């Protein structure tokens, strides 16, 4: 056999391998979607589902979730904590990123390591520490406690995304604005903010997604009143999976897709500009 046809076999094998990996990445997530419409309380495809019998599908589990006060309260909690933590993280993170991007910033690498540390520290350890510390301060089992915790976990994402946008930013622009008599606030609003906006929004979305999916600190420092959606799913998975969980999961997948597409769109818009 000629070298060329070996090359073709190799290339086909390679593509098959890659397809398998992509399947591994996405199939588990996609499989949940049809199952959430199962009319039966099973976690597997019924014969009716496979033969595409419309009778085998229903919105039953979505109704269960929509009518369950516990899920609704969990949603409200997730939103309150998520929005508050995102607002705080975005404000603090953007300011810090502006400082870090300045070449005059002393101890830049050290500061960066500190600010990123919540992201690389195993969350079980962060949560354990917060449990001791926040309990002493009376913040355990309160909304402010969880908001502070989620803010701390979310800021690294804001810092990273905004810093990334700023790395392509020409410092001469700020200097030019200053020499034209613009004050620092005005310079920020008119010159820097429009340029870094995509990074700030992406960072905010990352921070929100982090809080919206966080379960360990909720397990450690959240009380019955602060149960969030992931916390609710956690007990659902541990005790008894109800098909209602699949409905929630499907909604969360749709939500994640939305967030992802927005962030990707922002990223591409940002990188499409010449540096």
Q: Is the separation of the CB atoms in 159 and 100 below 8 Å?
A: yes
- 65 near another protein, judged by CB under 8 A: no
CB atoms within 10 A of CB 134: 22
Q: Is the separation of the CB atoms in 190 and 97 below 8 Å?
A: no
222's torsion region: left (phi>0), alpha (psi -120 to 50) or beta? beta
CB under 8 Å to 35, separation ≥6 — which residues? 43, 44, 45, 243, 246
Where in 178-237 is the site for another protein (CB under 8 A)? 184, 202, 206, 209, 212-213, 215-216, 219-220, 223-225, 230, 233-235, 237
Tokens of 34: 């049809």
Q: Is the separation of the CB atoms in 57 and 37 below 8 Å?
A: yes
Stretch that binds another protein, among 42-50, 51-59, 60-68, 190-198 (CB under 8 A): 42-50
Residues in the chain: 275
Give CA–CA dist 238/250, Å, rounded: 19
Closest to another protein by CB, 169 vs 206, is 206
Closest to another protein by CB, 67 vs 239, is 239
CB under 8 Å to 55, separation ≥6 — which residues? 39, 48
Where in 162-181 is the site for another protein (CB under 8 A)? 163-164
Q: How far is the CB of 25 from another protein (least distance, A)?
A: 5
- 115 near another protein, judged by CB under 8 A: yes
- 265 near another protein, judged by CB under 8 A: no
Stretch that binds another protein, among 57-65, 190-198, 246-254 (CB under 8 A): 246-254
- Read off the DSSP letter of residue 1: -
Q: Which one of residues 160, 166, 207, 218 is an interface residue with another protein (CB under 8 A)?
A: 160
Q: Is the separation of the CB atoms in 147 and 84 below 8 Å?
A: yes
- 109 near another protein, judged by CB under 8 A: yes
Stretch that binds another protein, among 58-66, 159-167, 189-197 (CB under 8 A): 159-167
Give CA–CA dist 147/61, Å, rounded: 30
Closest to another protein by CB, 60 vs 215, is 215
Closest to another protein by CB, 60 vs 108, is 108
- 159 near another protein, judged by CB under 8 A: yes
Q: How far is the CB of 150 from another protein (least distance, A)?
A: 10
Where does residue 257 rank: exposed (0-12), middle (13-18), buried (19+ CB within 10 A)? exposed
Where in 14-33 is the site for another protein (CB under 8 A)? 14-15, 17-18, 21-22, 24-26, 28-29, 31-32
- 267 near another protein, judged by CB under 8 A: yes
């Amino acid at each position: 056999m000629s070298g060329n046809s070996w090359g073709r076999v190799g290339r086909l094998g390679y593509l098959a391998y890659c397809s398998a990996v992509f399947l591994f990445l996405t199939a588990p997530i996609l499989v949940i979607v049809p199952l959430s419409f199962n009319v039966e309380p099973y976690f597997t495809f019924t014969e009716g589902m496979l033969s595409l019998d419309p009778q085998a599908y229903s919105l039953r589990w979505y109704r269960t979730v929509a009518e369950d006060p516990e899920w609704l309260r969990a949603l409200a909690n997730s939103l309150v904590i998520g929005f508050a933590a995102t607002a705080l993280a975005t404000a603090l993170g953007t300011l810090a990123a502006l400082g870090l991007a300045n070449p005059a910033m002393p101890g830049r690498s050290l500061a960066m390591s500190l600010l990123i540390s919540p992201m690389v520290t195993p969350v079980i350890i962060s949560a354990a520490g917060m449990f001791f510390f926040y309990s002493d301060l009376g913040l355990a089992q309160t909304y402010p406690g969880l908001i502070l915790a989620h803010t701390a976990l979310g800021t690294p994402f804001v810092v990273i995304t905004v810093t990334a946008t700023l790395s392509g930013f020409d410092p001469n622009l700020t200097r030019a604005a200053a020499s034209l008599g613009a004050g620092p606030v005005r310079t920020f609003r008119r010159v820097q903010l429009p340029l870094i906006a995509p990074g700030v929004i992406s960072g905010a979305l990352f921070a929100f997604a982090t809080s919206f999916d966080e379960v360990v600190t909720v397990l450690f420092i959240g009380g019955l009143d602060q149960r969030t959606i992931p916390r609710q799913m956690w007990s659902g998975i541990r005790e008894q999976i109800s098909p209602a969980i699949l409905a929630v999961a499907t909604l969360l997948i749709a939500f994640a897709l939305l967030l992802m597409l927005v962030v990707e769109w922002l990223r591409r818009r940002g990188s499409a500009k010449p540096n």
